[in-house]
Structures are given as structure tokens and as C-alpha cells.
Amino acid sequence: MTTPAPPPKKFWYEANCHCGAVRYKVLGPHLEDFPFKGCNCSICTKNGYLNLYPKRHEVVFHQGFDILKEYRFGSKTKTHKFCPECGSSILIDFNGTLDGEFEDAMAVNVRMFKDIDMRELKVEHFDGKNLWKPEYEI
């Protein structure tokens, strides 16, 4: 498959789950310049999500998409996909539930990207715990 040239100021990032069963690439901005939102909602906290929001066509799987397992909670409208072998949280598919610039976006966990120094990323607090309903309960 031929990879299109990235638009200006966007770069391809190679990524994989911990065990390597899932391999993909993501087109995104220079990560050290991007203001990430460190969300405190239940799923982001428990799964260690730190998300980038590329368009669906900016996420290209090399292998393993067909083996990803799915988890839904709360409103059950968003699909969380993870590796069935190592449990790595790969992405959240919003399934068209968002509007505007995020209408065709997915949340991709940058912690799966290769050769990223997490200490160099700018992370701002986002209070998803108190914003999104229904409230998480076990």
C-alpha cells in the first residue's frame, strides 16, 4: 500500500501494542507542540489513555486490526479497542457520535507510538470525570 505524503506540519508515527500483534501508523502534528488533554475519566485513568484525535483515514493498520477486542460502557456509543494478547489500549472509535471537527475522528493512544519521549509532551488537565455521564460505577 502506498502511503500518501503527509500534509504540511503533519507526520506519520509508527505504533504498536506491547506484544506487537497490532501494528499501525498515525498521521498527526509534531507531538511536542500539541497540547494533549490528560483526562481523569474512569476509562482514561484505568487504561492510561493519552489521546490524539486523527481523522479515520489518518490511522492505517499494518496488521492486527481484525483481532482487536472491543469494550463499551456508559452510553455504549463509543468503542474502545484493545489487543487481546497484551491488553494494550489502542484507540476509541466514536462511531460518528461527535460533531464538528471530531465528526470523523478517533482517539488514538499516543502511549503506543514508537520512539516518543512522554516527558516532552505538553499535557493539560481535562475533567472528564465530572463532565461525562452516566457516572462510572461498579
Q: CA 130, CA 134: separation in Å to the nearest integer?
A: 10
Q: Which three cell numbers stand for residue 22?
A: 497490532
Please list the pLDDT of the chain residue by residue as tens digits (138 residues). Answer: 666 665 568 999 999 999 999 999 999 999 998 989 899 998 999 999 999 999 999 999 999 999 999 999 888 888 999 999 999 999 999 887 777 777 889 999 999 999 999 999 999 999 988 987 777 777
Q: What is the pLDDT of residue 25?
A: 98
- Predicted TM-score (pTM) of this structure: 0.86
DSSP collapsed to 3 states, the chain: CCCCCCCCCEEEEEEECCCCCCEEEEEEECHHHCEEEEECCHHHHHHCCCEECCEHHHEEEEECHHHCEEECCCCCCCEEEECCCCCCEEEEECCCCCCHHHCCEEEEEHHHECCCCHHHCEEEEECHHHHCCCCCCC
